[in-house]
Amino acid sequence: MITLFAFGPYFGLPEASPYVLKTELQLRMAGLAYTKDFTGFPTAPKGKLPYIADDGEVIADSTFIRAHVERKYGFDFDAGLSASERAEAWAVERMLEDHLSWAMTYFRWVVPENFERGPAQFFQAVPEPARAGVIAETRAKVKANLHAMGIGRHTPDEIATLGLRSLVSFSAMLGGRPYLMGAEPCGTDATASAMLMSMLAPVTQSPLRDRALELVNLAPYAMRVMQRFYPEHRWEAPLASAA
């Protein structure tokens, strides 16, 4: 049995982290049974979630977890795609994870109102006297990561401009197709739908969310993936204020 180390539910989403949600979707796509454990962050091998334990083997990072599933269980997330289509799907995934996701992190963690409504709530379990210090330290670490990556050096408008370029590009590539690469989902659909659900959740107000709601193929696409692979969840909530 696989254990998925995760953060837990977040404002209507089954997972706070789009990367954990991506992995959860991929486990479901592969038809694998798993349980979730919300206590593994302090001992995460790479200091991040997700990671999994599978019969004593520990695998950290959503991309390596995907590779593990492909290798151990023989499940091909990109079945039916040609080599160049697989390359396209990988390039889109990198655009979303290594570019768009940083802009999303900025709006979630740095914009004060979004932070107070959102990530600040992660720390409710920290004893009151220590809470403010832990919050400040964690937020400073996120800001340092944004600075090191480079995106944190830009103005909010510039960050929005960069993120929107990736968002609009994704929307254009998806076009009218039900899934990114055609009639059936591929591995990148897990990443893309997880990122979009996270972006659309009203708890984080941002120019990215505003534009995502205007790009009319995005919310229905994200919901299509979620409802297919996560049918028991009440998906209305994250999109409650989406027209």
Ligand X SMILES: N[C@@H](CCC(=O)N[C@@H](CS)C(=O)NCC(=O)O)C(=O)O
Residues of this chain that interact with ligand X (CB under 6 A) are 17, 19, 47-50, 61-63
Min separation Cβ 9 and ligand X, Å: 14
Contact partners, residue 200, CB within 8 Å, separation at least 6: 209, 212, 213, 218, 219, 222, 238, 239, 242
Output 43 or 82, the one with its CB closest to ligand X: 43
Pick between residue 7 and residue 230 the one whose CB is nearest to ligand X: 7
Query: Least distance (Å) from ligand X to the CB of residue 99?
Result: 13
**Nearest residue to 208 via CA among 137, 136, 156, 132:** 156
- Shortest Cβ distance from residue 77 to ligand X (Å)? 14
**Residue 41 or residue 178: which is nearer to ligand X going by CB?**
41
Least distance from C-beta 24 to ligand X, angstroms? 12
| DSSP H helices in the chain | 18-29, 62-73, 83-95, 101-109, 112-117, 128-149, 156-174, 187-200, 207-214, 218-229
Q: How far apart are CA 58 and CA 66, in angstroms?
A: 13
What minimum distance in Å lies between the beta carbon of 169 and ligand X?
20
Distance CA 196, CA 220 (A): 10
Q: Which is nearer to ligand X, 17 or 171 (CB)?
A: 17
Helix (H, G, I), strand (E, B) or coil at 5: strand
Give the residue with the Cβ less far from ligand X, 58 or 178. Answer: 58
